[in-house]
Amino acid sequence: MNSKEKNYITPMGLKKLEDELAWFLKVERPQICNMVSWAASLGDRSENADYIYGKKRLREIDSKIRFLSKLIDDAEMIDPEKIKSDIVQFGATVKVVDENKRPKTFSIVGMNETNSSKNFISWKSPIGRALLGKQVGDEVLIQTPKGEIEYTILQVQYLKLEMGEFQC
């Protein structure tokens, strides 16, 4: 991620990243270190699958730890519950209706918080970018691979978002 680029995140999104980092540091990495130590104690490491796999897995874990640490360090937390606005901003939950009068609700979250089953969309996604800065009654046109979709904004709210716990 570009160091000048904002990494907006909700409190729950930040907690989920912190929980994931803690799991890698306190559970996964120590387990793999123990496995590598045990495999190394067996002698010849050149054809020792447990040792080779363990070392490879440690490199992957260390890379993931660096990645998560950077995301957390660069995070700019924004709590949607503290926002009082009628304008769509990061953290907004927006109810829209399409041209066929089908309602849909989107919550605008950070890039690492998206969840299609909950309609959590990134503020950098095409829909997120189209909604930002708009208000109730505004119409937005979104380009998709299947063509254009037009939404009319019905409601803008700032709610506590539930992400769910980190699953290892």
Last residue of a domain, one of 77, 110, 135: 77
Q: What is the pLDDT of residue 5?
A: 74
Q: Are residues 41 and 11 in the same domain?
A: yes
Query: Are 72 and 100 members of one domain?
Result: no
Locus of tokens 């160091």 = 3
Instruction: Please give the tally of structural domains in the chain.
Output: 2
The CATH number linked to 31 is: 1.10.287.180
Query: Is residue 13 domain-shared with residue 70, that is, in the same domain?
Result: yes
Q: Is 11 helix (H, G, I), strand (E, B) or coil?
A: helix
End residue of a domain, out of 77, 103, 119: 77
Q: Using the structure block, give the residue that is written with the tokens 């993931």.
A: 64
Taking the C-alpha atoms of residue 129 and residue 108, their distance in angstroms, rounded to an integer, is 9
Residues 28 and 66 in one domain: yes
CA distance 54 to 58: 6
pTM above threshold 0.95: no
Domain CATH for 122: 3.10.50.30
pLDDT category of residue 144 using cuts at 50, 70 and 90: confident
Q: Are residues 55 and 93 in the same domain?
A: no
What's the pLDDT tens digit per position in 26-81?
999 999 999 999 988 988 888 889 999 999 999 999 999 999 999 999 999 999 99
Amino acid identity, position 131: L
Could you tell me if residue 11 is inside a domain? yes
Instruction: Identify whether 62 is part of a domain.
Output: yes
Q: What distance in Å separates the CA atoms of residue 16 and residue 109, rounded to the nearest whole number?
A: 13
Asked whether residue 163 is assigned to any structural domain, the reply reads no
User: In terms of residue numbers, what domain contains 59?
Assistant: 7-77
**Is the residue at 126 inside a domain?**
yes
For residue 27, the model assigns a pLDDT of 96
**Rounded distance between C-alpha atoms, residue 132 and residue 161, angstroms:** 18
Residue-wise pLDDT for 110-140, tens only, equals 999 999 899 999 999 999 999 999 999 999 9
**Do residues 46 and 25 both lie within one domain?**
yes
Q: What is the pLDDT of residues 44-59, one digit of tens each?
A: 888 889 999 999 999 9
Question: Which distant-in-sequence residues (6+ apart) come within 8 Å of 19 by Cβ?
Answer: 165, 166
Residues 64 and 51 in one domain: yes
Distance from C-alpha of 157 to C-alpha of 30, rounded to nearest angstrom: 43
Residues 84, 152, single domain; the answer is yes
Q: Say which residue the tokens 């503290």 belong to.
A: 82
